[in-house]
Chain A
């Protein structure tokens, strides 16, 4: 008796909510919506911070909420709420309908939800398989201890976060799916100091859907890597500014492609009229050595998902093939407003954002050259071993900090340099990527954009850019 009452009046995770969801969708369609989508979320997150030899922060958090999106023609109304009762969800539908000011008598047909597609079946045990706070704390403390390699290291930090997200997605085209997503990240960073010299080093690792991944993480290798990076940069001189050829390292070097080009291939940019590539489908936009991919299917990668936030399975999208633009990254609104077919890329940070076309695992495919081939081909230039963050302006100009850089002279790596930034525009830089290495690797990151912060992977092999503006002193 109690169970059926709950089922009909409130969303309950782990139960069948079909009747209630259908009732809400019928209600919205009856009020004149062309399309209605309900996204419901339950989260259970934890983060741990170790500083020096102490755990200084343990932060659990949990929450639940719903985002309801209604389309009328090409415009949409979106309402989010923490109230998952039938009353709360219907009130949100009414609010969205009212916002859209629907006055016509046209009514779409809703034939009910399809059979429930449950992607979470094999994932329900994950919450019991992830490491405990105690286990995480112990490993983080061992990690920060192993960063203490000399007295020049003045700050040592290790951080871990785990996000477990349970979602239910239902919409008036019959979509009815549920899923569980697990993301774990761990990061190390240090500050080194000696007299007036200062440097920092950091690395972040991450996975999706791999409860055991943190246990397998090689913290000693990571600590050595971060330590060496900070020591190499401690006494580095500032780089001289100018135009020069650069070699970008693999893994996180791919952040430049992600920011400077990837975003311009999202249909949200076409909707805004802010991408130079809008009418360039099947035209050459990059050097013929460049093939670029966005996909959500690589097992364990930080940007992978079983189903996107609009209930579609992700596809592997070849964006650029041998320099020719082949595809845009699209979501439901993107398909409606630009005509580009959905790619399983509708993503959002949480229930309080409407989904938008967003990248997943995005990378430049490997080429045939070794890293040494690329460096040997440059008489004077810059090797960017580790990239910091960056941004892209409203007209496509990008700017990225180089965290760890080395001068290239006569085909050899020489002295470390700091303070370098790479400046350019995708349209101008893409044709200048003349060589791609054979050492493709991926790296996790967080991407902030119109639908909030989402987990992504960036990646590339080592690549050579023939000429780019390097900012310095």
Chain B
């Protein structure tokens, strides 16, 4: 069945069960991936997946939901029945409705449709990449974590009031994580990830070069003394920390009492006036963009922090109604509708007189710690308390030299971090999770072994 036929099938089955109000989200995908080990194919993988999430409203306007991979006529009927049973336990304290924007026009990026290149070509490309990466430096002995994949999928949202949205796209991903070993030293590892609309769009050479350079740059390492340091966050690491504390801008988290913000936090000053942060799922550089969310609301650019102050929260239909605003296109379909950001864009505003512009990671000669990548986010972030303690990969810059830091963590409070931003560099870099310039923060605690 295609998505139109599924909608018709659900409509018929709902009529039969006397269910007047329903909606659904579905995704259909074909994925292909390869992994290699020293020139040999390791695992070759293909999958066809279909997932349907159905919601129904009962006579008391309570919502029930079911998810199924069985999109046959009988599977759809079973899912509707299960959702109807679940609706008896629907949340009486907070109602859910269709998004008022579920029929608004959506912006779809013009992207040329890619065709699968096939497993054999994926394998050839990855084998070549592995060889080149190993040959790039004598200390690189293997590429233990590697993969090249391509996915082709369709997302659908429809409801009983006639809303229908469908969106097809393709995406490919390459990751290469090298392992370098030198005599009497600990093994060091680093890597790179690149995305594209198709395998032919991925810049494989730059992925190899980046993985190689990053790995080699950590060969000479040393412990760091536990102390407070001036920190320069790479664009990737700053976006990691913003995403980890995105509950601060999340209306669902605010209602649930797990956010550092509250309903009255709009306008609260968090940082230097030089800081602007947007959520921009439709950004031209966002390869993973989708034009609508789980409730069918169009995706859009939204300012979260304007000149250092909270400007907006991200919403689903129900949180927007509670906050007396409109949905923002950040909902995930579920029994309890989730809310999450799409793609963060960090910018320097025009109000930047309080910045220490001499702090530039490529020219500054004073002592500082450069954080390249933050790790173990799920373990080291307490978003509801605002604290973090995270291991990182990075370097200590001192006396004009840089040396890789062995096994250290950076710890602090998120609000303290934002308040202590001392510079926002001018040029932005595109990463897989958003866009940001390098960000400088003063006086963060680092624990090391020295």
A interface residues (Cβ-Cβ under 8 A, vs B): 48-49, 51, 54-65, 74-83, 95-96, 98-101, 133-134, 137, 154-155, 191, 198-200, 241-243, 271-274, 352, 354, 388-391, 393-395, 397, 399-401, 418-421, 423-425, 469-473
Contacts and interface: CB of A to CB of B under 8 A. Distances in A.
Nearest to B448: A469
Given A99-B46, A271-B37, A56 B94 contact: yes
A59 B189 contact: no
Given A421-B380, A421-B409, A64 B144 contact: no
B144 A57 contact: no
Nearest to B376: A391
Interface residues of B, number: 74
Given A58-B86, A75-B41, A198 B189 contact: no
12 contacts: A51-B256, A55-B91, A58-B89, A63-B70, A76-B42, A242-B447, A352-B49, A401-B389, A424-B407, A470-B447, A471-B389, A471-B409
A80 B65 CA distance: 26
Leading 8 A-B pairs by shortest Cβ distance: A63-B69, A241-B447, A389-B379, A61-B67, A471-B409, A471-B447, A394-B189, A391-B376
A393 B189 contact: yes
B37 A133 contact: no
A313 B335 CA distance: 37
Contacts of A48: 89
B334 interface: yes
B445 A472 contact: yes
A426 B71 CA distance: 47
Interface in B269-286: none
B324 interface: no
Given A57-B336, A75-B41, A473-B445, 6 more contacts: A62-B79, A77-B44, A191-B257, A241-B445, A395-B186, A472-B389
Nearest to A403: B382
B407 A469 contact: yes
B257 A76 contact: no
A273 B46 CA distance: 25
Contact of B47 (A79, A133, A395, A472): A79
B48 A274 contact: no
Contact of A274 (B144, B257, B386): B144
B144 A399 contact: no
- Among B45, B83, B86, B334, max chain A CB count under 10 A is at B45
Given A65-B69, A75-B42, A99-B44, A399 B384 contact: no
Interface string B35-59: 0010011111111111100000000
B168 interface: no
B407 A397 contact: yes
A391 B144 contact: no
B201 to A, nearest CB: 22
B188 interface: yes
Contact of B45 (A55, A78, A137, A393): A78
Contact of B407 (A76, A199, A423): A423
A82 B31 CA distance: 13
B43 A78 contact: yes
Contacts of B47: 79-81, 352
Nearest to B255: A51
Given A81-B48, A155-B257, A101 B120 contact: yes
A171 to B, nearest CB: 17
A78 B379 CA distance: 32
A241 B389 CA distance: 11
- Among B51, B375, B407, B448, max chain A CB count under 10 A is at B407
Contacts of B79: 62
A423 B69 contact: no
B82 interface: yes
B280 to A, nearest CB: 29
A395 B187 CA distance: 6
A471 B411 contact: yes
